[in-house]
Chain A
Amino acid sequence: MLENKREHLAKFQSLIALAVMLIAMSLLSDSFFTPENGLNILRQISVNLSLSIGMTLIILTGGIDLSVGAILALSGAVAAGLLKNGIVIEPLGVKLQFTVIGSIVSGLLVGSAAGLFNGIAVTRFKLPPFVATLGMFSIARGLTMLWTGGFPVTGLGSSFGYIGTGVLLGIPVPVWITGGLVGVFVALTRKTRFGRHVYAVGGNERASLLTGLPVDRIKIAVYTLGGLLAGMAGLIVTARLDSAQPNAGLGYELDSIAAVVIGGTSLSGGRGSVMGTVLGCLIIGVLNNGLFLLNVSPFWQQVVKGFVILAAVAVDRMSQRDR
């Protein structure tokens, strides 16, 4: 079992924090504790959750990814551009037009490719993850601007929009998507050899290498998955707005790191869980939603979020020191 008492405690702390917030918000606002608002919160967190699942894997190996927000924008822009305008291959004089499915797959491929690049930079070129992904942050932002010319790509049609605005069996489609992703990645981290190896590499990289684990391949895989999930998040954002904004996802990497940390995953790697990150996203989502319903200024929301991050990490550190 990967969960020890300490991790139980960390998850417990997040759960208590979430419960306290739910009760407090319910008492303070009549419109908070309703099924509609519940689904609303789930839909609102779906983008951050998609990013944060990938971020959890990366942080579990002891890395970090600052480029997910930029990859989100690039993937969304590529998918939207291919769908709306297709692509002209000059030397052949051909114009390729993309279907909805084709553009979705392309968006996901672009995200994965950017993640793969991060992984190769971290392993083959031995760049610190902070630096490698900071570079990708700039590269992806620049490419997005080049691709869109700095203008939003709008009018993508209702079938593409279904990813972001559709409702299936009373539940928004983005919630179905991220719910599915949570299921897949919880199983991946807890039940597979790959998942166990991710924890081992983050827990002790040298020991993992000496035990014969393919450390480099594991790292490349987690960064690629991080890029893939950022691509998914980009599709959701673009579909929801019916528009690919060149500046989409600005600062999202910080929200996703915050969710992972609040969820009890250690920034030094080896300790944490995808379920913890789900709780972390919920806490941030409930906080934003509740404060909005209470008419608290969005500026104050940021201040409160900052203190929640500090408190979460401080409590985690203290429980570690108790040993």
Chain B
Amino acid sequence: MTVSGDLVLEAKKISKLFPGVKALDGVDLTLRSGRLTALLGENGAGKSTLMKILAGVQPPDEGELLVDRKPVQFTGPRHAHDHGIAMIHQELSLVPDLSVAENIFLGREPLRFETLIDYSELNRQASQWLKRLELDVSPTTPVRRLRVGQQQLVEIARALAGNVRILIMDEPTSAITDRETEVLFRCIADLKKQGVAIVYITHRLEELEQIADDIVVMRDGCLIGTAEFGELSHDEMVRMMVGREVKVLSKESSTNKHPVLSAGNISLKHPTRPGDFLVNEVDLHVCKGEVLGIFGLMGAGRTELLECLFGLHPKTSSGNVSIHDECVRLKCPADAIAHGLALVPEDRKHDGLVLSMSVAENASLASLKQAERFGFIDRAKEREHTRRFVERFRVKTPSLREKIVNLSGGNQQKVILAKWLATGPAVLMLDEPTRGIDIHAKNEIYTLIDELTTDGLAVIMVSSELPEVMAVSDRILVMCEGRATQEFDRAEATEEAILQAALPKRTSIPC
């Protein structure tokens, strides 16, 4: 039995490299029994990566983990679990067709005669956990029938039922109601009394008051500071989360021009929660030669907003869009493209590229008609047509026939840009255009955006990197939980003000 305050886990100098990015750079972390450590930081600060290493999901590249002062090397999540470490993932990891009880005890079901599952015991134990979490569902209900918030609680029950000593929670309150949050916090208090050490990732700083003992702030894969809760003010925490220096591109601020695209009252219904919205009455406009930056944390509805504008949710979205003063109704991406819109999606490999095709084939895919002669593709014309853009964007590739998979992330992104520029768009929408590419390529992309706007293109750029938004945008629209919370001009924007506008204020979520 551990006493409150005992050192249960130490992480020393943990580093983790992803292709082109140092996700963690020599991070130290100590966890003590009976205390909750709140882990704060912007998107991409390395919080989730660090937690995955603690939970055995990924091995560290460098550094050491000690549990009870003994070094360990986890071979997988199960191994970490044997040491009493459990993680509640941001993405739900339940089996939808199994019952609540089966999910809670998945992999450690109570057995009869060592072989058969003892269902009465399974359901009895499960209902105790459900009662404790005040979750009013039968243990035999299939998980698929539960709301997302209820599923989150089942996930929590599963972690708790495993007799944990170290519990990792990655934004557990992002999908649950106020009442469920209260129950969760009571559970957390119970667990702390029992000596469980908890790591808690959140963007809701208001929650900390009720549960936090220690604060750890991360930024860009580094540890920025640790303190006991109460030593830091709200503003100090925010300042520690931001505060990265980025060279600002010299750029003349755009004069007040007529908007190319304006959208009003854009809303998108939540696919499963009726009455809830992923995008909630957002207005925006963008002018010729202007970059509109859209900033928000994970789940703010930024990507969904772009998808609405691009005609991807014709049935569940609403609002007015006009392009060049003409009111348009966009029912599919082909409509949007015909009206001069272009979307560079967030997930290059999944949504942007056809990986089995060459550089030229990817670059010409949206504008193949222009390379046709008598109904057949003229390959020379196609190459000529795509070479212009590929050269202009300085794509590094051995040839146009090279497979797109063999290019670096930055060059792949430029090929996607080339694809869209070939369609002659009026508005270019970029969703996290520099995600997962190295610093050098990032700067090249910024320069390209600058060149394109000089040529008169209107650009909407979604990003969760504050310094990037501040460096590239003429205006910045901040979103939080589906709503546009504030808009800044380039001159008046500060990192603190933007982040304040992006952080959720605790409001009640309808049940």
Contacts and interface: CB of A to CB of B under 8 A. Distances in A.
B377 A211 contact: no
Interface in A177-201: 187, 191-193, 196-197, 199-200
B356 interface: yes
Contacts of A310: none
A4 B358 contact: yes
A206 to B, nearest CB: 5
B343 A210 contact: yes
Is chain A's interface secondary structure helix, strand, loop, or mixed overall? Answer: helix
B377 A192 contact: yes
Interface residues of B, number: 32
Interface string A87-120: 0000000000000000000000000000000000
Contact of A204 (B334, B353, B375): B353
A207 B312 CA distance: 12
Contact of B354 (A4, A199, A212): A199
Interface in A200-216: 200, 202-204, 206-214
A181 to B, nearest CB: 18
A1 interface: yes
The bracket for how many chain A residues form the interface is 20 to 34
Nearest to A272: B356
A210 B375 contact: no
Contacts of B366: 211-212
A302 B332 CA distance: 48
Contacts of A161: none
A271 to B, nearest CB: 5
B333 A196 contact: no
A2 interface: yes
Contacts of A197: 368
A207 B350 CA distance: 7
B345 A210 contact: yes
A214 B354 contact: no
Interface in B432-480: none
A203 B352 CA distance: 11
B333 A204 contact: no
Contact of B351 (A203, A210, A271): A210
B261 to A, nearest CB: 17
A280 interface: no
A210 B357 contact: no
Contacts of B358: 1-2, 4
A202 B369 CA distance: 20
Nearest to B344: A210
B355 A212 contact: no
A187 B377 CA distance: 10
Interface in A282-296: none
Nearest to A206: B351
B333 A212 contact: yes
A199 B358 CA distance: 12
A209 B358 CA distance: 18
A192 B365 CA distance: 12
Contact of B368 (A193, A206, A209): A193
Contact of A208 (B354, B375, B377, B401): B354
Contact of A212 (B334, B350, B379): B334
A208 B369 CA distance: 15
A227 interface: no
Contact of B376 (A1, A191, A203): A191
A199 B333 CA distance: 19
Contacts of B357: 2, 199-200, 203, 270
Interface string B411-423: 0000000010000
Among B334, B365, B369, B379, find the residue whose CB has the most chain A CB atoms closer than 10 A. Answer: B365
Nearest to A192: B376
A66 B354 CA distance: 27
Contact of A207 (B310, B351, B376): B351
B325 interface: no
B314 to A, nearest CB: 13
B355 A203 contact: yes
Contact of B353 (A4, A193, A207, A213): A207
Nearest to A194: B375
B377 A193 contact: yes
B118 interface: no
A208 B362 CA distance: 10
Interface in B313-361: 332-334, 336-338, 343, 345, 350-358, 361
A196 B368 contact: yes
A200 B353 contact: no
B312 to A, nearest CB: 8
Contacts of A210: 310, 312, 333, 343, 345, 351-352
A200 B361 CA distance: 9
14 contacts: A191-B377, A196-B361, A197-B368, A199-B357, A203-B356, A204-B350, A206-B350, A206-B351, A207-B353, A210-B333, A211-B333, A211-B337, A211-B365, A211-B419
Complex A-B, nearest 3 residue pairs according to Cβ-Cβ distance, in ascending order: A203-B354, A212-B337, A212-B334
